[in-house]
Amino acid sequence: MAVLRDEVVPIRAAADVVLVRQVVREWAIKQGFGLVDQTKIVTAASELARNTLDYGGGGSLRLEALDEGVRRGLRLTFEDHGPGIPDLDLALKDGYTTGGGMGLGLSGSRRLMNEFEIDSRVGEGTRVTVTRWK
């Protein structure tokens, strides 16, 4: 599998969440995704970017355009060095909120993308990797 391009976008302020949406949209269009798929990818990115900012204390997004010969994809990796998630199972449950809400962020993004991976350690940080294939 080849990574055609990759880029890192810092997520440090609310305006960055808007920027993430724009950049992800551009990359999705470039990889050839249709409108509905674009919307799903950008929405998932918006959720995860917000989590990174609000719960992770800020972090970054790495975009990777993938090419596996038969199919193309877009992989997004959100990383922060925040408090981490103590109970992953609970956080992945629909509608779970820690008073103000991670809510649908994680479980929703998982549904919107084809692949979903999460690695979180308390006191160290969280990394969420999602991929959508064309």
Q: Which of 1, 35, 99, 123 binds another protein (CB under 8 A)?
A: 35
> What is the end-to-end Cα distance of the chain in Å, rounded?
14
Spatial neighbors of 117 by CB under 8 A, at least 6 apart, are 128, 129, 130
Query: Applying CB under 8 A, does 43 fall inside the site for another protein?
Result: yes
Q: Which is nearer to another protein, 39 or 81 (CB)?
A: 39
- Tell the smallest beta-carbon distance from residue 123 to another protein (Å): 27
Q: What's the rounded Cα separation, in Å, for the pair 17 and 48?
A: 9
Q: Which is nearer to another protein, 69 or 123 (CB)?
A: 69
Q: Which of residues 80-109 bind another protein (CB under 8 A)?
A: 94-95, 101, 103-105, 107-108
Q: Which of 18, 29, 90, 122 binds another protein (CB under 8 A)?
A: 18
Query: Applying CB under 8 A, does 65 fall inside the site for another protein?
Result: no
Residues 89 and 110: beta-carbon distance below 8 Å: no
Residues 16 and 56: beta-carbon distance below 8 Å: no
- Tell the smallest beta-carbon distance from residue 124 to another protein (Å): 26
Q: Identify which of 125, 95, 132 has the alpha carbon closest to the alpha carbon of residue 110.
A: 132
**Which tokens is 48 given?**
């995860």
Q: Which of 23, 39, 119, 134 binds another protein (CB under 8 A)?
A: 39
Q: Which of 46, 67, 84, 119 binds another protein (CB under 8 A)?
A: 46
